[in-house]
Amino acid sequence: MNEWGITGGHESGIVYLVGAGPGDPGLITRRGYDVLHHADAICVDALVDPVLLADVPEEVERYYVGKHAGFHTLKQEGIQELIIRLAKEGKRVVRLKGGDPFVFGRGGEEALALREAGVPFEIVPGVTAAVAASAYAGIPITQRKMACFAMMLTAHEMPDKDSSCATLPWPEIAKLTGGTIAGYMGVKTLPKVIERLVEGGMNPETPAALIERGTMGGQKVVTSTLMKLAVDGQAAGIKPPALFVIGEVVSLSERINWLNPAPLAGKRVMVTRPARQAMPMVQSLQHLGATVLPAPTIKVAPTYIEASWKRMLSQPDRGGWIIFTSENGVRYFMEGLDKAGQDVRFLGRFKIAAIGSGTRDELASRGLKADFVPSRSTTAVLSEELPAHLEKGQWVIRVRGNLGDTNVEKALAAAGAEVQAQYVYETVTAPLNDLVRAWVHDVAPDIIAFTSGSAYSGFQEQWGEEADSLLRGAKLASVGPFTSRIIRDEGYEVAIEADPYNVTGLVEAIREDCEV
């Protein structure tokens, strides 16, 4: 057991049944967050916000087991077999479920299956929608002198069918007063539920509400009366997942309403940046109220070309310039330096150029100061402005990845420099995450943000025939002119372009566009 109280892998492994909360990824518990980030494998449901997995290490196994938008997924028995198998392989398995695993989440069934299989497990409760979605809508589920109890029920099946919902004592529920009823999964069956309650004697003027996507940026709330709720909800276009709340406490919604709309409230923004770098952008967009879909289209991995490093290190007394044109370049150059048996002292003989603020900040985080940053964060401007700072015959090391042109090297060589390209990483298309696919098929993004031309190319490769409709159905946001040109050359409109040409500028450009 480690410092977090998280059991390490052993012969039989362990399963954590974790409640992710009702939607807002910030509502997962601290315990849930800790076990998630120490997992070997994660089995995730459809209603879980993908942001929760965005900073989980890439090597962690992911299994999408949601029942969502017509996708073929495992039946409940298959899910149980999967988590048991993974645990018996000695893995720490997180079964990540929306809301609370024991509130209409079939967590009890999974716990019993684990017990029968002899697999150790832990229950990590989550915030359930009846409490959280109501709170975000300004509805206290209990209130002194108004609601001394709260009832949670599922209305997924029609009340006149042979189901668990059919066994609910509707006449008795209808006669209850002084409490609150919260119904899960009941958008389609709501008219029948209302009919049963009114027939049982509930006052048709009882305050009632429908809450769609509670706690999320696209939350939609309709308040009405019991009798009119289904009609008003349909008129407002309420769709699953939604919760209905019935009781006098709903009348407090307008007075308590505390959730002020943020600039990007209701906007779904897809961020295509590599997973390792995406979180600052994701968090900035979330703070502006967006529902953010981290959907990395490329992944970056280090590469170590021994001959190139030997050549660079064979001239111990020679200095010059070293150019970093990406944060990845800084990160993987330093890793390569360590692998070559060197450290930061090697850079003492060089002046350092950084293409923009992101690269400059990555250098600064390692105690390195950039001597030159171009006036614009593009390789074209760097190629124009840096030669004025070079001496003829000076050695220049251009740190780079496998993609992109060689214009920087050509421009500096034309200025009289001796240029060495040092390849330290490679970029490849990332596999398309099943959870991302499910979310996109449920509701397409309003904005797709591209932070590089390779991210755009990766998107095309990931989505194949579906890419065109997604690109034409959303506003496309680009980090700068170079990326915009790649997108436009393929016939798509770039509606939003960053200025300055970095992630901060891109987030600001998206905000400004949505405020117009």
Q: Which of 384, 381, 394 is nearest to 322 (CA)?
A: 394
User: What distances in angstroms separate CA 401 from CA 163, 421, 427, 469, one per listed residue?
Assistant: 58, 9, 7, 31
* Tokens found for residue 247: 């009781």
Question: Which of the residues 67, 88, 239, 299 is marked catalytic?
Answer: 67
Residues with Cβ < 8 Å from 175, sequence gap 6 or more? 200, 201, 202
The answer to whether 503 touches 280, Cβ cutoff 8 Å, is: yes
Does the annotation mark 45 as catalytic? Answer: yes
Angstrom distance (rounded) from CA 212 to CA 305: 53
Degrees (nearest 5) of the Cα angle 452, 377, 346? 95
Angstrom distance (rounded) from CA 36 to CA 19: 11
Does the annotation mark 371 as catalytic? Answer: no
Question: Which of the residues 24, 34, 40, 45 is marked catalytic?
Answer: 45
Q: Which segments of 200-274 does DSSP mark as H helices, in order?
A: 229-235, 253-256
- Ramachandran region of residue 120, left (φ > 0), alpha (ψ -120 to 50) or beta? beta
The answer to whether 168 touches 162, Cβ cutoff 8 Å, is: no
Residues with Cβ < 8 Å from 425, sequence gap 6 or more? 300, 301, 302, 303, 328, 329, 332, 401, 402
- The catalytic residues are 45, 67
